[in-house]
Structures are given as structure tokens and as C-alpha cells.
């Protein structure tokens, strides 16, 4: 089995953590402002889940590369250009429809990635994935239900959801298009082949949108 260097493993954990961190922060702006109390609580809990997952990924990264410092340092003391999250999660909350569609597009991918990472050859990666996947399974179920109901609701509801999808779909390709780093992680055996994830992701997305 190919030896995995600590720095590449730490970088992968940071990339995963950055996605959760930025989306968790985006979602948090709805606290106290969501269209209903139920949604306010649900979004707050989703944001907390993602921040908790961030902590797990950053702890893994810092354990493998002690030069990184602490999870708090990774969260608060990096320059904005040092973050490695995908573009989708940082897209602004133009309205509630954008929030829901952005969440669905991320959740569908996030679940597939974590499911694959449970089979990683790295115990630490497997452990973080196993801790996260139950929460993410719920996130995916919830966002899928909401976009299906609102997309098939009133004419106004459908129009808003379609506008959100039109604005956000172009960012989804990054999730399943491997760059050189993704390919190196796959070659090392601890991360999945994103080209295989892409097929399942597109099939899942098209069923519901």
C-alpha cells in the first residue's frame, strides 16, 4: 500500500473542513431570520453540525501537521486566500430559495463523499467520515424534501427555486471535477475517485431538480 504523507493528508482534511466551515457560517446568518421558527431551528442545527464537522477535520489536520497550530488558528487566523473551500459554499444567501438549493447541491455531494471515505485506507479519515455521515444523511433528506416540495409548489415558489438553481448549478461542477490534488489523494488510496462520484452525483441531482 502506498505510504500517505502527513502533509497531503492534512491538506485534504483542511479542504473538507473548509467546506463545512464556510457553509456553516453562511447558514448561521438565518438564525433569527428564517421564514418560520421550525426552519430557524433546523438551519441553526445544520450550521452547528457543519461547524462540529469542521472541528473534527481540523483536529485531524493539526495532528498530522503540527506546524498548522490549532483548529482555532485554522478557523480564525488564516488569510482569506488560504481557504480551500469550493465556490458553491461561499455563494451569498440572496434569498431563502438560494439557501435551500445551495444546501441541496452540497448535501448530495457531501453524503456521497463521506460514504466513500468510510472505505478509506486511512483510519483517521474513516473515523471522521463515520462521525459525520449520520448528520449529513439527515441534511440530505431534509434539503431534498424541501426543494422537491417548493419546486413543485405554487408558481411563485417554483419560479424562485428555478432561479436559485439557474444561479447555483454552475458551481456544482467543481465538486466532482478532480484537480491535481484530488488525483494525488485518490492515487494515495485514502480519497475517492471524483469521476466516479460525479456519475452518482448527477444522477441524484437530476432526480430531484
Domain of 85 in residue numbering reads as: 6-208
Answer yes or no: are the C-beta atoms of 141 and 41 closer than 8 Å.
Answer: no
The reported pLDDT for the residue numbered 209 is 59
The reported pLDDT for the residue numbered 1 is 43
Taking alpha carbons only, the member of 123, 11, 130 closest to residue 62 is 11
> Beta-strand (E) ranges in 101-177?
none
Q: What number of CA atoms fall less than 13 Å from residue 187's CA on the CB side?
A: 9
Residue 1 belongs to a domain: no
The reported pLDDT for the residue numbered 117 is 98
The total domain count for the chain is: 1
pLDDT < 70 regions, the chain: 1-3, 205-209
Three cell numbers, residue 153: 409548489
Residue 24 belongs to a domain: yes
Residue 147 belongs to a domain: yes
Q: What is the pTM of this model?
A: 0.94
The reported pLDDT for the residue numbered 69 is 96
| Cell 435551500 found at | 100
Q: What is the CATH number of the domain that holds 22?
A: 1.20.1260.10
Amino acid at each position: 500500500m502506498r505510504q500517505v504523507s502527513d502533509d497531503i493528508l492534512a491538506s485534504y482534511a483542511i479542504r473538507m473542513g473548509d467546506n463545512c466551515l464556510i457553509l456553516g457560517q453562511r447558514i448561521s446568518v438565518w438564525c433569527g431570520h428564517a421564514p418560520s421558527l421550525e426552519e430557524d431551528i433546523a438551519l441553526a442545527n445544520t450550521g452547528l453540525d457543519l461547524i462540529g464537522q469542521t472541528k473534527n477535520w481540523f483536529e485531524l489536520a493539526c495532528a498530522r501537521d503540527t506546524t498548522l497550530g490549532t483548529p482555532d488558528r485554522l478557523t480564525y487566523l488564516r488569510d482569506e486566500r488560504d481557504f480551500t473551500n469550493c465556490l458553491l459554499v461561499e455563494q451569498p444567501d440572496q434569498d431563502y430559495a438560494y439557501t435551500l438549493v445551495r444546501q441541496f447541491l452540497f448535501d448530495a455531494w457531501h453524503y456521497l463523499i463521506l460514504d466513500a471515505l468510510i472505505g478509506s485506507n486511512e483510519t483517521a479519515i474513516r473515523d471522521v467520515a463515520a462521525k459525520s455521515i449520520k448528520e449529513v444523511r439527515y441534511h440530505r433528506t431534509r434539503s431534498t424534501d424541501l426543494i422537491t416540495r417548493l419546486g413543485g409548489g405554487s408558481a411563485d415558489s417554483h419560479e424562485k427555486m428555478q432561479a436559485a438553481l439557474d444561479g447555483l448549478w454552475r458551481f456544482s461542477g467543481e465538486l466532482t471535477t478532480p484537480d491535481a490534488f484530488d488525483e494525488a489523494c485518490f492515487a494515495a488510496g485514502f480519497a475517492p475517485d471524483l469521476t466516479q462520484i460525479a456519475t452518482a452525483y448527477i444522477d441524484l441531482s437530476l432526480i430531484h431538480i
